[in-house]
Structure 1
Amino acid sequence: MSEKVKLTAKEKSELWIEGIVTVILLLMLNFALLVLINQMIAHNPGLENAIWGVKTNLTFGRGGFHLWSWSNLFLTMMAIADVIVVYWRLARRYRQMQMRHVIAELHYIADGHLDHRIKFEVNTELQKVVSSINALVDSTVNSMAEERRIEQSKDELITNVSHDIRTPLTSIIGYLGLIEDHQYRSDEELLKYTHTAYLKAKQMKVLVEDLFEYTKVKSTTTKLNPVRFNMIAMLEQLAASFELEAHKKHMRILVSGEPNPLMMEADTEKLGRVFNNLIVNALKYGQGGRHIFLDAQRIGSEVVVKVSNDGAQIPNDSLNQLFDRFYRVEESRSQETGGTGLGLAIAQSIIALHGGYIYADSSPELTSFVIHLPLKVGASLTDKPKHSNEEAGKSK
């Protein structure tokens, strides 16, 4: 519980001096008034008779109590007035001292001690000022922490992008250097070098495109273009578009859901990017799997979509980091397949733009990415995220 302002010895002395001086001045004033009134009465006998008449004619209560003498009544009134004046003077000086303490605390905070708060209480309207100062400092500290977090995030982004661009760029320069110096023995070897450089260039192109998409969906000015559509029909179209690639991987894509049609509102272009990333990941990294399951269910006022595969299990230690930028479960494998490590981060940002959330769950039998979306853009979900990767990230 907050304490009152603690006055210094000097301030207490000032209050005592203020009180004593005020009392002395009031006593002098009272004495002067008494002398003046006595002189007026002495020189005006009629005034004294009038006062006596009022006193004898006015009675109070059943006992017929008379007024005191005019002098006693006047002294009582002056004493009450004196007490009020002394209290007002001391209270005013005490408020001034409180203000000095608040200003001193404010200067201390302004000198860079942002972890300090004004902990004492004041009894006047000044308390609102104290509360506002503490709230302002809290807001400033939070803003500075968020700014540092964003700055650190930018630095990490630049570092990761530089690393991921440098790797293929080094290969491109190396192979083109061999070609430039005619360090090849046959046309087949020349073709091999150019093809490798071409693949590395495509890898850089994918990285740049993913990076651009990521910064776009993370921007606070990004707007959605929601339309009403059938989610199950959308999943069926995606399954058909990946049918040939799935056949090459000896996999089947199965779609299920209810009710059908499952009508909802969302930005289909951006959601298509999410499901495209998840299906591509299932095809690339679901080793040993034979099926990819696309399932959509309406549960209350939200839609739950699961993209699952029966391939290799994702380690539990990696589940909470899957949606981090540039994170790869297996670095070497991801480099070979051209993954940038931005796909799931983009997916999470797009789902968040729709007011939903996404998390991953993996077991030896099934690896699933579960998406919760409101039926309408802007609506709030009644169910809270149970496996939210954002919450999990905070607990790491």
Structure 2
Amino acid sequence: MRTLRIRTFTLLSLFLILSIPWLFFVTTHFMVTKSLSLGERQPHDPSLQKHLTETIQLIEMGADNWTNPDWQNKLNLQLRKAKLDAAIYNASDQEIYRSSSERNRALSKKEQFSVIEDGQLLGRAVIYLPNLNAVPMVGAFVGLLLSFFIVAMGMRRFILIPLYRMNLAARRIADGDLEVELPSSRITEIAGVRDGFDVMVRGLQKSHQKQVKLEEERRFVIAAVAHDLRTPLFALRGYLDGIEQGIAQTPDKLAKYVTVCKEKSAQLDRLVEDLFTFTKMEYLEAKLNLKPIDLKLVLQKAMDSLKPLVEQKQIVTSVRYSADDLTVIGDSHLLERAVSNLLDNAIRHTPLHGKIVVHCDKEDHKIALTILDSGPGFTSEELQHVFEPLYRGEASRNRSTGGAGLGLTISQRIIRQHGGELTASNHPDGGALLVGWIPNR
């Protein structure tokens, strides 16, 4: 839709206000005078011209009877017939005759002439013609009213009504109605305000949808955390009650109870740590402690921390570096956490006597980390949700193989915070394949 700037609308309004009265004035003037000459004093109406000539002749020929009542009555009849007024003065400029309605023609045009006979001035006559400008002035006034009406209707349609509707829409938006239909306008400035409101409404809609999504995720997190905390706590309390009540009477049974309690407490510690890290990454704006980091050292620390699990499952690990210098700029604590989560995921899904292969390669302007395990790999459904918070492939949420379902989510978000990316897939020869990369800055 084409729009009109408000200054252009104002200029067009002024043009209408000036041109329409002038057009009406010229039209009515032509209709009255039959001439477009605005300075014309003599009427061009043949009938009026004929009556004027007859009146002048009557006055000139009746100079001897100017004071005669019968003659004056005759002149009155002629003037009423011609719709004229007249006044007659003698040679001394004294008024001899004046028509009765002359007082109402003070603004009329005058036709003056002197009556001379045998070289002697007999008197002077004044004939008051109809005011030829009265009708054109009325026409100009009507045109002025019409122009004001047209401009007012234009302002109402293009400015006032859109602004009023914009005001109502703004109030509805303030009340939370984000589906309100914003009015359109042919005025550029108002259309710009409308577009601004539209952008604002779309932003509010996105913000509202994001808030709803976060609220749903928050509720889901709370429910999942309550479920995940209850299971190890329940088991831990049961074994502690057994120790307290003397159920574990032999040293071997007592050692078994203590071992289970340590495992459950370790699960709780890991769960709380995952939840804290996820909350910090997702809801808090934590600043990265950036400094040069050797990824070989980060990877070695992560491998050392998980060495007991590797030995317990008798997993064979293979680590290969493609370059000596694998330095990146990042947060050492977060990057170590991300790598540990990736390795922990691989260890948990690798069967006994399995194998894990880790490659750390330097490519162009980035360093890539590849982790391949000999486990069953991901299902097609798991590949679609593997990085979603609290998602785990086990429908029963059994903790024998899974954690809180936050490890891969945390790893991906840490790597993305460092300007990289983490993806998951299946190796053609079998097993899960996790590939992450970080810019080498």
Same fold (TM over 0.5): yes
How many percent identity over aligned positions? 25
Q: 1:61 — aligned with what?
A: none
Does the aligned pair in 2 maintain the 1:289–1:312 contact within 8 Å? no
Within 5 A, what are the aligned runs for 1:37-56?
Answer: 42=109
Q: Separation in 2 of the partners of 1:247 and 1:183? A: 31
Contact 1:357 1:373 in 2 (8 A): yes
Q: Helix, strand or coil for the counterpart of 2:410?
A: helix
Q: Does 1:369 align with 2:434?
A: yes
- Aligned residue number for residue 276 of structure 1: 340
What does residue 382 of structure 2 align with? 318
Provide the residue aligned with 2:156 in structure 1. Answer: 93
The letter of the residue matching 1:93 is: R
Tell me the equivalent position of 1:175: 239
Q: Which amino acid aligns with 1:369?
A: L
Amino acid of the residue matched to residue 381 of structure 2? Answer: D
State the Cα distance separating 1:142 from its structure 2 match.
1.5
1:40-88 residue CA offsets vs partner (Å, 9 max, x unmatched): 794899xxxxxxxxxxxxxxxxxxxxxxx99999999989977765543
Q: TM-score, normalised by structure 1?
A: 0.68
Which structure has more helix as a fraction of its residues?
1
Alignment of 1:264-303 (within 5 A): 264-287=328-351, 290-303=354-367
Instruction: Give the secondary structure class of the aligned counterpart of 2:227.
Output: helix
SS at match of 1:339: coil
The answer for the alignment partner of 1:135 in structure 2 is 199
Q: In terms of mean alpha carbon deviation, does 95-104 or 153-162 score higher?
A: 95-104
More deviation in 151-160 or 345-354? Answer: 345-354
Cα distance in structure 2, aligned partners of 1:332 and 1:125? 60
Q: CA deviation at 1:350?
A: 0.9
Inter-partner Cα distance in structure 2 for 1:251 and 1:283: 8
**3-state SS of paired residue (1:320):** helix
Tell me, what secondary structure is at the counterpart of 2:293? strand
Contact 2:425–2:433 (CA under 8 A) maintained in structure 1: yes
| Larger radius of gyration between Structure 1 and Structure 2 | 2
Separation in structure 2 between the aligned mates of residue 290 and residue 195 of structure 1, nearest angstrom? 25
Unaligned runs of 5+ in 2: 5-15, 33-38, 42-105, 113-131
Aligned length: 330
- What pairs with 1:1-396 in structure 2 (closer than 5 Å)? 42=109, 85-94=148-157, 95-109=159-173, 112-118=176-182, 120-232=184-296, 234-236=298-300, 238-239=302-303, 246-287=310-351, 290-330=354-394, 335-336=399-400, 339-363=403-427, 364-376=429-441
Per-residue deviation at 1:163?
A: 0.4
**Residues 1:288 and 1:338: Cα distance change in structure 2 (over 3 Å):** closer
What is the deviation of 1:312?
2.5
Q: Name the CA shift for 1:41/1:147 in 2 (closer, same or farther; >3 Å).
A: same
Q: How far apart, in 1, do the equivalents of 2:139 and 2:321 lie?
A: 91
Question: How far did 1:110 drift?
Answer: 5.0
Residues 235 and 160 (structure 1 numbering): CA distance in 2 closer, same or farther, change over 3 Å? same
Query: Which ranges of structure 1 fall in alignment gaps of 5 or more residues?
Result: 5-18, 46-68, 377-396
Cα pair 2:338 2:414 within 8 Å, conserved: yes
Superimposed CA distance per residue, residues 195-236 of structure 1 (whole angstroms, 9 cap, x where no aligned partner): 433432332222112211221222442111122233345435
Distance in 2, Cα, partners of 1:158 & 1:116: 34
Q: How has the CA–CA distance of structure 1 residues 109 and 182 changed in structure 2, closer, same or farther, with 3 Å as cutoff?
A: same
Provide closer, same or farther for how the CA distance between residues 41 and 326 of structure 1 changes in structure 2, counting only shifts above 3 A. same
In the alignment, is the contact (CA less than 8 A) between 2:392 and 2:402 conserved in 1?
no
1:318 Cα deviation after fit = 1.1
Q: CA RMSD in A?
A: 4.2
Pick closer, same or farther for the CA change 1:278–1:126 going to 2, 3 Å.
same
1:271-304 per-residue CA deviation (whole Å, 9 max, x = no partner) reads 1111111112222211166432222333333332
